[in-house]
A = this chain, B = another copy of it.
Amino acid sequence: MELHALTPATEINLRIEAIRTCMASQGIDAILLTDNANIFYTLGRVVNGWTYIPAAGTPIYFIRRPEGLKGDNVCHIHKPELIPAELAKLGYTLPTKLGLELGTTPYLTIERLKAIFPDAEIADASAVMRCMRAVKTDFELDLLRQSGIKHERVYQRIPHLFHTGMSDIELQIEIERVARLEGCLGQFRISGESMELFMANVLAGNNADNPTPYDFAMGGAGLDPSLPVGADGSIITPGMAVMVDANGNFTGYMTDMTRVYSCGELSSEAVKAHQCSIDICRELEKIGRPGTKASDMYARAVEIVRAAGLERHFMGYTQKAGFIGHGVGIEINELPVIAPRSRDILAEHNVLALEPKFVVPGVGAVGIENTYIVTTDGLEKITNSPEEIIDLQ
């Protein structure tokens, strides 16, 4: 097996150097990463183990599984307690300030790691990594563009999957199949253990107004109380909007895209709200560039919504989401967050999804979502499917 899988060593080195710059600014001597997303980011493939990045010297990949992975910087161990002795053998001094993923790793696991490095001050590496991963490299942008192209191909097929009398979940299942045949990996990586969604959120009619426990832009009752989100088995009938927000993980990097389909004509209010979503996207595409405040983007969206008199419907009706956009990449909820009190400022090569959406009772959810790369020339859209409401009939 290759150490870095499909990611070139030069790319890995680029990421490691960027992480080190961030570590240095916080006086962190070394970080030890074990979260799958961060292992994938620092090694180019998922393993069960730990990436150890010292301030100086070669990073070491401590791998528990798979066995047999070969490489200059690989050290196979069966438990983390062996790390200090292995570091000593390699001539490394132990860190005085060690970064661990305090925001994502369970409490007992962190306590175990702390006991292995009893003399080290512990700092949070999860925040460091979230900041790092928010700015994509050219290699990552290429993977995101590839996901976007395949994502578009799936959406192109959606009108052909519908038949009269179909339920929301039946339509979703056919979309899932087409996406999987197009190469979608299915896996929907989300930071934060309480977020769950299977593959897609397809909302038909009033089900869009059912609130969920999850922090997604839209809701839906779901099919079972163990997973109360999304399609609930509603039959798609004339006058309904059908919102499709389907997983775009084709490369380990996810694009996020939403489009709306209709069963016959929708109410004029729903059509107006959908157009308002498109208008907001066009406007945010103009103002979004390196240096733009996320909170300003949110505020501008709200201005447009107010001017259209659509506040009551914006980002939900019965329950409202508190954001209109979020970073995407290895995980679906990366930085920056486009929300009223966000302190994030757009940086070059951030990748973000904007999803100004509306719920219109009696019709359903309308609005679009696209994924963008932040460039010095503005936002580059990488999910280019047609944005108008497409009639399925």
Contacts and interface: CB of A to CB of B under 8 A. Distances in A.
Contact of A187 (B49, B68, B227): B227
Residue of A67, A170, A186, A199 with highest tally of chain B CB at under 10 A: A186
Nearest to A124: B108
Given A67-B211, A330-B226, A196 B36 contact: yes
Interface centre among A34, A199, A215, A219 (most CB of B within 10 A): A199
A47 B227 CA distance: 9
Interface string A163-180: 000000110011011001
A121 to B, nearest CB: 15
A61 B139 CA distance: 46
Contact of A105 (B107, B198, B199, B318): B107
Tally of this chain's copies: 2
Contacts of A224: 185, 251-252
Contacts of A185: 198, 223-224, 226-227
A117 interface: no
A111 B111 CA distance: 12
How big is chain A's contact interface, by range? 35 or more
Interface in A179-198: 180-181, 183, 185-187, 193-194, 196, 198
Contacts of A198: 185-187
Interface string A215-245: 1000100011111100000000000000000
Interface of A: 5-7, 34-36, 40, 44-49, 64-68, 100, 102-111, 124, 126, 169-170, 173-174, 176-177, 180-181, 183, 185-187, 193-194, 196, 198-199, 211-215, 219, 223-228, 251-252, 318-319, 330
